[in-house]
Amino acid sequence: MPIDNRAARVRDQIEMLASVSEHHQYVQRTFCSLAAKLANDMVSGWMHAAGLKTRVDNMANLRGVLPGNNPQGRVFVMGSHLDTVIDAGKYDGPLGVLLAIDQAARLEAGSLPFDLEVIGFSDEEGVRYHSSYLGSSVVAGCFDQEQLSLKDAKGVSMQQAVEKFGGDVTKLSKDQIPKDKFLGYFEAHIEQGPVLEEKNIPVGVVQTINSQERVEIKVQGVPGHAGTTPMMIRKDALAGAALMIAEVEQLAQKDHENMVATVGKVDVFPGASNVIPGNVNFTLDLRSPNYERLSTFSKKLQQIFSGITQKRGLTYSWNLIKTNKSTPCDDQLTQILSEAISQAGYPVQALTSGAGHDAVAISNLGPVALMFIRCKNGISHHPDEFVATEDIGAAIKVCDVFFDKLSQQMQ
């Protein structure tokens, strides 16, 4: 099939998948939701049509295998995630899964010297449990079982959600790809930033993915009557949390080494206009190209939080949900990707990823490579996210050369 037709098919699939949502007004597919199940069904149909043998594993990951020419051969994985943020764009995650299925459709079963496994990971964004890479960390064998007791906003534990979806949490280790079987991982993803557009290049090659820390902060004060409690004796958890959140932004602004810090979710309890807030929970997302710098920032923030809460008679807890160092992409796979980009007729633009990707978790198994695809105005995590069909075509062209080169080198 000509590349233009393949790109149009991927674009149409992107549109169809975007209609699968938990919400009727915007795109939202969180871990183990009904929308996630419907998305798995839809994408599994496309996997079948591409000749893949599919299954949903115990962590809700959708997996399809195209067997290679050697039954003892190793497995090369291409994929990305099918979950989304709230009020999401259409391309973040799905584009990488659909490009992988497009490759499988092009390649014949038995033609590669390795098995090709296409994976639509069940959770990369971490919206439901605030902890990211749930799907890929099971595949990579680095899932922390303690996370199964985390609860979502409705009090449903991760274990309950997985079981309701049809998974068996006692069998998660069986879904890991054994390290000695793993050959490598390739992910294609929208850039989610402006560099490729500024340089007028359709694709780029990622060198490293920045380090990240996710934390949940719980601030405790004393609730009380909004009309009768004098200002000087209040222990208002929200007034304290507001100062803490402002410090997060100020401290990151003072950092000149690309440290970014975000509070994206705040819950106030009991949450009534005439009650002084007794408890506030908020999330913290910290990222930096330099993990040591991130750790120093994190410690400094804890000191500042202690100062603010002590002064106001509040208490707080700092619950580390997840931390990971910067992830370098593999030299050899990145070299093959760069050559593929060049051979497809595009300049080779190196990039750093400020966003997290399933490649971070999968790097625990072995080599990973990551290609970025230009998006409009660098917008992502927003419904205006957009990738031109011509750029999808450019990515397909690169993927074709990448897999042809990879299979030659692995003979």
**Contact set with Mn ion (CB under 5 A):** 92-93
Which residues have CB under 8 Å from 325's CB, separation 6+? Answer: 211, 291
Residues making contact with ligand GLV (CB under 6 A): 125, 355-356
Residue 383: CB minimum distance to ligand GLV, A: 15
Residue 81: CB minimum distance to ligand GLV, A: 9
Residue 99: CB minimum distance to Mn ion, A: 13
- Find the DSSP H helices in 255-347: 291-311, 331-343
Residue 188: CB minimum distance to Mn ion, A: 11
Q: Which is nearer to Mn ion, 43 or 301 (CB)?
A: 43
Angle in degrees, CA 386, 390, 17, rounded to 5? 45
Residue 170: CB minimum distance to ligand GLV, A: 29
Residue 214: CB minimum distance to ligand GLV, A: 9
Q: How far apart are the two ends of the chain, measured CA to CA in Å?
A: 26
Half-sphere exposure (CA, 13 Å, Cβ side) for 363? Answer: 20
356 binds, among Mn ion, ligand GLV, none (CB under 5 to 8 A by kind): ligand GLV
Which residues in 206-222 are b (16+ Cβ under 10 Å) and which e?
Answer: beebbbbbbbbbbbbbb
Q: Which is nearer to ligand GLV, 193 or 221 (CB)?
A: 193
93 binds, among Mn ion, ligand GLV, none (CB under 5 to 8 A by kind): Mn ion
Closest by CA to 184, choosing from 252, 116, 285, is 116
For the purposes of burial, counting CB atoms within 10 Å of the CB of 22, is it exposed (0-12), middle (13-18) or buried (19 or more)?
middle
Report phi then psi at 365, rounded to 5.
Answer: -90, -30
14 binds, among ligand GLV, Mn ion, none (CB under 5 to 8 A by kind): none
Residue 146 to residue 376: CA distance in whole angstroms? 39
User: Which whole-number Å values give the CA distances from 126 to 17, 45, 175, 270, 306, in the listed order?
Assistant: 19, 26, 20, 25, 27
Q: Which is nearer to ligand GLV, 188 or 355 (CB)?
A: 355
- Find the DSSP H helices in 190-261: 195-199, 237-254
Which residue sits closest to Mn ion, CB atoms considered?
92
Q: Which is nearer to ligand GLV, 65 or 355 (CB)?
A: 355
202 binds, among ligand GLV, Mn ion, none (CB under 5 to 8 A by kind): none
Contact yes or no for 151/140 (Cβ under 8 A): no
Q: Which is nearer to ligand GLV, 125 or 391 (CB)?
A: 125
Question: Beta strand pairing status for 266-269 and 279-288?
Answer: antiparallel
Secondary structure class of 270 (helix, strand, coil): coil
Residue 125: CB minimum distance to ligand GLV, A: 5
Q: Which is nearer to Mn ion, 158 or 209 (CB)?
A: 209
Q: Which is nearer to ligand GLV, 54 or 324 (CB)?
A: 324
117 binds, among ligand GLV, Mn ion, none (CB under 5 to 8 A by kind): none
115 binds, among ligand GLV, Mn ion, none (CB under 5 to 8 A by kind): none
Q: Which is nearer to Mn ion, 93 or 278 (CB)?
A: 93
Residue 210: CB minimum distance to ligand GLV, A: 9
301 binds, among Mn ion, ligand GLV, none (CB under 5 to 8 A by kind): none
